[in-house]
Structure 1
Amino acid sequence: MKTIHLTATSEFNTGAMKSYFLVDDSPFFKIINFNIDAGVTFPVHSHDLDGELSILVLEGEGYFLGEKDRIPAKKGDLLISEIREPHGVLATTQMRILVTIAPPI
């Protein structure tokens, strides 16, 4: 077992996105904490492989982005998507998200 204290990863870079790799050694999944400053976009992208991902909003507000979608996202909201499906995030306030990718890429 492993415990991660997410409160220790709440730093932001002005006008940018900062990431912390929380679990990067599992053959089954990867969990990444991204901190996105207000007004910054985590660009819409996809991956050419099978699997799923989830994006959980830990703090802040913004939008989950898709190829044509713009879905409001706030603390506690969870997006689940195929890895092949275009996905991204736009932060309207400072936003902390937790991304889980299975299998890891």
Structure 2
Amino acid sequence: MKKINLFEANDFGDKGLKKLLVHDSPYFKIINFNFKAGQELPVHSHDIDGQLSLVILEGNGEFLGKDGTSFPGQQGDVVISDIAAPHGFRATTNVRLLVTIAPPI
């Protein structure tokens, strides 16, 4: 087992999105993204099988999908998607987002 406190390990960057690789193994990957208000992870997809989860730990934003679709997200919301489906995120406030990918890419 290992323990990481994301609030202590990763802060908010003035120059852009802050990314922390929390865990990487053959089974899954965990990444913590910290967004300042207005920053985004553009809509993208991966041509592989697998799933991902996006969990808002703090703040508010929008989950982004294909063809310009979006829906609001707030602290505590979890989105689960196939890795091959278009996905992205835009922060409307400062946001801590935890992403889990299985299998890892």
Assess if the C-alpha contact under 8 Å between 2:10 and 2:18 holds in 1.
no
Q: How many residues align?
A: 104
Report what 2:46 is aligned to: 47
**Equivalences for residues 7-46 of structure 1 within 5 A:** 7-14=7-14, 16-24=16-24, 26-46=25-45
* CA distance, structure 1, for counterparts of residue 71 and residue 15 of structure 2: 22
- Report the TM-score, using the length of structure 2 for normalisation: 0.94
**Equivalences for residues 1-105 of structure 1 within 5 A:** 1-14=1-14, 16-24=16-24, 26-67=25-66, 68-105=68-105
- Report the TM-score, using the length of structure 1 for normalisation: 0.94
Structure 1 gaps, min length 5: none
Structure 2 gaps, min length 5: none
Give structure 1 regions of 4+ aligned residues with deviation exceeding 4 angstroms.
Answer: none
Q: Report deviation, 1:4.
A: 1.3
Percent identity, aligned pairs only? 54
